[in-house]
Amino acid sequence: MVETSLLVDANNHLGEGPLWDVREERLYWIDSTAAEIYSCRADGSDVKRYFVPRHIGSMALREQGGAVVALANGLHFYDFDAQTVEPIGDPESDDPETRFNDGKVDRKGRFIAGTMAYDFDRFDADRGQRPTRSGGLYRLDTNRAITRLDSGISCSNGPCWSPDNRTLYFTDTYEKLMYAYDYDIETGNVSNRRVFASARNMAGTFDGATVDEEGYVWSALVFGGRILRFAPDGRLDRTVPFPVRNLTSVMFGGPKLDVLYVTTMGRPMWGIPQKERDKGGLFAVRGLGVRGLPEPRFAG
């Protein structure tokens, strides 16, 4: 039996990026527009909060300690104890209308993250209004080199990999499309982008995503109040209703990697009212009958 429960009443403005670390057995997540990082134990206890200097799109833990954070002004290393950042680079420093958003680490220890347009007010996907396609998809190598992998993106979200490392899934939230790329795990290069799934006939749109050990893709349907599971061939396999309409991202975690952690949005956006009492909270979904895959740390 599937059970969804509020784990942490975080009241996040824009909760995002749940990340279960198997080494620490802790869950991390961010409040993107409040510029905060959170962590807690598997049961939601021992909540800790950290601050970053700018809007944060995503984060990943490092093998040598601390984290990589994708901020509005580029990629940085983060020291949790001092709560300070060390700049790595900003490939879009000449464009003040974009910021970094979602990102994850591949199984060779590289950080893959994309950018998004800041022009929120011109977005209404259900009415066909979309902002500029000025964002890109980037790879941060362990030697700190930053490489652009793709362009023409409105809102980068949901990077995750198939268990065999041959496919990178990636969402453009504003376009209501999830893509699949051929992924070369040895080089970190992408090719052959194609549409994997579309939300254009659905209420809501794709946001954060993860892949389970069977190779199925789980996506948070933001503004749609559902979690969707897609088969490797793009077929919609399962729909899980969710008590908050504006869920933002998903990640399997817990000691057995069988709990799906879900972040949500607490602030109203684009005139859409936020009426749920638990909006902005961190949730846990149990009883799905599947397990996730361990998330790697950045190797640089």
Q: Is 292 inside any structural domain? A: no
pLDDT digits (tens, 9 = 90+) for 33-77: 999 999 999 999 999 999 999 999 999 999 999 999 999 999 999
* 16 assigned to a ligand binding site: yes
Residue 110 within any structural domain of the chain: yes
Q: Is the dihedral of CA 45, 50, 54, 60 positive or negative?
A: negative
This prediction has a pTM of: 0.94
Q: Per the domain annotation, does 293 fall within a domain?
A: no
Classify residue 295: in a domain, yes or no: no
159 residue type, one letter: P
Phi and psi based region of residue 128 (left: phi greater than 0; alpha: psi -120 to 50; beta: remaining): left
119 assigned ligand-binding residue: yes
In a domain? residue 268: yes
What is the count of structural domains for the chain? 1
DSSP 8-state class, residue 272 = B
List the catalytic residue out of 207, 212, 258, 278.
Answer: 207
Residue 127 has pLDDT above 70, yes or no: no
Q: Is residue 270 part of a domain?
A: yes
Q: Is residue 297 part of a domain?
A: no
99 is in an annotated binding site: yes
Distance CA 246, CA 259 (A): 20
pLDDT band for position 278 (50/70/90)? confident
Domain of 128: which CATH number? 2.120.10.30
Residue 81, in any domain of the structure? yes
Beta carbons within 8 Å of 100's beta carbon, 6+ residues apart: 57, 58, 70, 71, 72, 74, 75, 113, 114, 115, 116
Q: Does 164 appear as a known binding residue? A: no
- pLDDT of 195-210, one tens digit each? 999 999 999 999 999 9
207 included as an active-site residue: yes
101 is in an annotated binding site: yes
* Domain limits for position 122: 3-286
